[in-house]
Chain A
Amino acid sequence: MSNTDNENHKSLPIGIKGLSKSYGDVYALENVSLDIKAGEFITLLGPSGSGKTTLLMTIAGFCSPDQGSIYFGQQEMTMTPPHMRGLGMVFQNYALFPFMSVAENVGYPLRVRGMTEADQKSKIEAALEMVQLGGYGERRIHQLSGGQKQRVALARAMVFEPKIILMDEPLSALDKKLREHMQIELKALHQKLEATIVYVTHDQREALTMSDRIAVINNGRLVQVDAPKALYDNPNDLFVADFIGESVLLQLENSIKGLTLRGKPLKMTNPQPKGENPHCLVIRPELLVMSDSKNDSLNDLSGIVSASVYQGESVLVMVDLGDNIKINVRLPANKSQSSNIIPDVGKPIHLGLHAEDVIIVKGRVE
């Protein structure tokens, strides 16, 4: 094996070139190309039916593409049957074999590979330790909680030290608190294993929390591939801007002086785009500053408070801007700041957006 920078004994890069797959006249994947670095944690993010699972299943070999190629390192895998690809895989519903004990489940890939009982035993115990389930080997699957099942599934997928691990919405069956805990744990596990992980989810927060990079997929096409912060701060597409975060999109108008927001020139630190293309302003609820009076240094939006919802750590205020446009403002539930008193419904209010916080994307709001 050539020992280049992006290829080592613990992980492999994945190269996806021109992958297409259609069901009838609907494209599940349309000319998808993606280079995944060795040891990277990449998330395929998209709404249901976007083709993210199809892409994962194609990498796994369970779904055969109409065209395109898949490389693991230097080796083309497009024609390789799934059991020869040497991947670890974690499924949404765990897919633990119910008639086997925890240890038998984790040992399955070792048994299939003809490893001796003694070698298996130490590997199984090490893998269970890794997911903090040491000593659980003799338990039956039905005796485990959801979180424990997920850990066993993880242990089983990594016990044979695969260089690539695929995960298909592995945390979606867990409750919110456990899910958030497992996200942190998975990320720590990834750093220990150093394997390449391809993770599928429809939960944008989960994707932002865990990934080195996120590949946003919509209608079978790759829309944007970027690091979480870059994706959140600089969406390059209307869909991405809308899908990531709790954003509201406002149509901007083109004028001789440049882009205008509800008739007033848009203040922004980045240079304004040239040309006549329509653009939208992406408003994140946490970026707006709420006040009773207009602040001339900010981009100003005025409206009437239509509802405010106490959500524990924050207060979500819905503001009606007129013309059937409503936007949300998120205020931290912070008692020390007098500006954060929950406003009454029906009260007129000004919302300010700093020039640095302006995010614009090409496109027209539907």
Chain B
Amino acid sequence: MNIASNNQLEGLNSKELAKARRKEGRLFFNLSLPSLITILIVVFIPVFWLSSLSFFDRAGDFSWENYERIFQSQLYIKTFIVTLKISFITLFFCILLGYPLCYWLSQLPNRLASILMIFVLLPFWTSILVRTYAWLVILQRNGIINDTLLSIGWIGEPLQLAHNLTGSIIGMVHILLPFFILPLFASMRSIDNNFIRAAISLGSTPRGAFWRVFFKMSLPGFFAGTVLVFVLALGTYVTPALLGGGKIQMLAQRIDSTIMLYSNWGAASALGVVLLILAFAVIWIFNRAFGIDKLFMR
């Protein structure tokens, strides 16, 4: 038998074998079916339905007024600026605290590193609400920090740590830091020590080898963590609501008040759509700017 006749799928058992392959393909599809249906029902349909609300005014007619209001009202524009500002500051501190910590963890022996990672993950085991109230107790005017600093005389009057931007950011960094550390740690752990040794043996100083090789090879995890933190920060609600003391209005809070106070679903939906677009834009820009997909290629 020659190859040509094989290609025509007329060989011995070829029909039965092709059928078996199709059956296997169907089986794998069936395995993913429950999750596909769930995602369709709880994610895509609600998002689509809620988004569609933004294109109708209160009378139920099609209109752009919900979007026009967002881009004309100073209040909304200010909300966007505050949201972006807080998200960037939070990201900045997550990188500042997370990268060195991750580097240190990645250089430890396996056992010790996994024990210490439990401490990084510990906050996940309590609810965000509880943790945020805990920060309030610590940061408020007569909280632990102010009491301590006053009693040892480092400050004359209490620092304003809660009910403002500072408080919101402290809380958000605390909550989002693990999301930065997890992908970065995985990325750093996968960097073989021989890469660094190779760079050093070829004449790099240890510092040079770190920046030229280790840092570059940690970038996939770095960007994954960055995108995760930034996108999650954009949609934060509880933390700025409690630790911001009403002075900090982020997008999620604005959406909440639009519904709760004014019961304007169309306007709230428009804000939600803009938030969603913003999140996608961030991911897209990161991908274009740093070529994450290229970095993952080995």
What is the interface of chain A, defined by CB distance below 8 A to chain B?
A: 60, 62, 81-83, 85-89, 91-93, 95, 97-99, 108-109, 112-113, 140-142, 156-157, 160, 166
Give the total of B residues in contact with A, Cβ under 8 Å: 22
Q: Is B192 a contact partner of A89 (Cβ separation < 8 A)? A: no
Chain A residue numbers with a CB within 8 Å of B204 are 83, 108, 112
A83 to B197, CA, bound (A): 9
Complex Cα spacing A88 to B200, Å: 10
Taking a contact as CB atoms under 8 Å apart, the answer to whether A86 and B194 are in contact is: no
Determine how close the nearest CB of chain A comes to the CB of B125; give it in whole angstroms: 36
**Contact flag A109-B203 (CB < 8 Å), given A97-B213, A142-B298:** yes
The residues of B that contact A98 with a CB separation of less than 8 Å are 217, 297-298
> With an 8 A cutoff between CB atoms, is B246 at the interface?
no
Q: Say whether, besides A142-B297, A142-B298, A89 and B206 are in contact (CB < 8 Å).
A: no
Contact, CB under 8 Å: B216 / A87: no
- Determine whether the beta carbon of B217 is less than 8 Å from that of A99: yes
CA distance A99 to B212 in the complex (A): 10
Residues in B with CB closer than 8 Å to A62 are 197, 200-201
Q: What's the minimum C-beta distance from A104 to chain B, rounded to whole angstroms? A: 11
Encoded as 1 (CB less than 8 Å from any A CB) or 0, chain B from 170 to 198 comes to 00000000000000000000001011011
> What are 7 A-B pairs with beta-carbon distances under 8 A?
A62-B197, A82-B197, A83-B200, A93-B194, A97-B217, A108-B202, A112-B202
CB closest residue in chain A, given B220: A99
Contact A156 B202 (CB under 8 A): yes
Q: Which residues of B pack against A, CB within 8 Å? A: 192, 194-195, 197-206, 208-209, 212-213, 216-217, 295, 297-298
Given contacts A98-B217, A98-B298, A99-B295, contact A160 B203 (CB under 8 A): yes
Report yes or no: B203 in contact with A95, Cβ–Cβ below 8 A: no
**What is the minimal beta-carbon distance from A94 to any residue of chain B, in angstroms?**
9
**What separation, in Å, do the CA atoms of A85 and B204 have in the docked complex?**
11
- List chain A residues, Cβ under 8 A from B297: 98, 140, 142
Minimum Cβ distance to chain A for residue B197 (Å):
6
Smallest CB gap from A159: residue in B: B202
Extra contacts, 20 of them, besides A62-B197, A95-B198, A166-B201 (Cβ < 8 A), are A83-B200, A83-B205, A83-B208, A85-B201, A86-B203, A87-B201, A89-B202, A91-B194, A95-B192, A95-B195, A97-B199, A97-B216, A97-B217, A99-B295, A108-B202, A112-B212, A141-B298, A142-B297, A160-B202, A160-B203
